[in-house]
Amino acid sequence: MLSVAKRACACCGYLTLDGEGLLSSDGIHFGNFQNCDVCGWEDDYASRRDPNCRGSNGITLVEPQESFARVGAYDERLRHNVRAPRPDEIP
């Protein structure tokens, strides 16, 4: 069976995002605006480049990383819409 490489979510770190993504000239992945199934974070370009930037998620990447560690989702209100990581998504 062919396995397709997944990319790590910028928030939770699990390998949930499809495709290679695009690389900027300085080697940083552009986000492709896919939502992570494990934490709910949207993979946006702005926060990939600068974790302190408020990208399409409307908040910086720092707070959701703390929320994920605490409640299992980047936003506490989303905790019923996400799922546990599968074994193949653990980096």
* E strands in 11-68: 15-17, 22-23, 29-30
Residue selected from 39, 61, 73, 82 as contacting Zn ion according to rule CB under 5 A: 39
Residue selected from 17, 36, 61, 73 as contacting Zn ion according to rule CB under 5 A: 36
Residue selected from 29, 31, 35, 41 as contacting Zn ion according to rule CB under 5 A: 41
Beta bridge partners of 23: 29
The yes or no reply on residue 45 touching Zn ion (CB under 5 A) is no
Instruction: Pull the structure tokens for residue 34.
Output: 């896919």
Interface ranges with Zn ion (CB under 5 A): 9, 11-12, 36, 38-39, 41
